[in-house]
Amino acid sequence: MRRILLTLILLLTAGSALAEVRPFVRGSWQELIAAHAGKPLLVHFWSLTCAPCLAEMPQWTKLRRDNPGMALVLVATDAPEQAARQQTFLARNGLGDVEQWTFADAFTERLRFEVDRRWRGELPMTRMVGRDGSVEAFTGSMDAAVLAGWLVRQGGSHVER
């Protein structure tokens, strides 16, 4: 019975590659921006302890499915010890292969300050980085109209409202 269960688990996970969870430390924000320079980028900050973050994750899955060329990066503000739980949650929501980071500095204020000097830790929070490097921020659950407008301005697809 154990062999059958193990075989089923291996078969279920074999086809779903999980992205490496990278540590988000000082300088990571600038690294992210540089790595995606010249391309539209959505960076979504979330947490396993944030109920609205968890509730809206299927919307991010749909957004990504409807816009396959869109660069999406998910940054969890949980402790690095939660990385396995984050990966499992994202994989269950069809986002296991998305670029993933997790806060890895006990001084989280410093990390938030690098992203946005006015950010006090409210979640969910999304930073929309345009092709030209301009950054728009949206705090709270995903707003389809805001993202649709941003995608259109970036020459992208659409978001159903």
State pLDDT tens for residues 70-121.
Answer: 899 999 999 999 999 999 999 999 999 999 999 999 999 999 999 999 999 9
State pLDDT tens for residues 23-67.
Answer: 999 999 999 999 999 999 999 999 999 999 999 999 999 999 988
46, β-bridge pairs:
76
Peptide bond into 124 cis (omega under 30): yes
CA–CA separation, 146 vs 74, rounded Å? 18
> What is the overall mean pLDDT for the chain?
87
Domains of the chain: 17-153 (3.40.30.10)
Reply yes or no on whether the pLDDT at 130 is more than 60.
yes
Six-digit token pair at 18?
């999980």
Give the pLDDT of residue 79.
93
Number of helices (H) and strands (E), helices first, in the chain?
A: 6, 6
Give the pLDDT of residue 157.
59
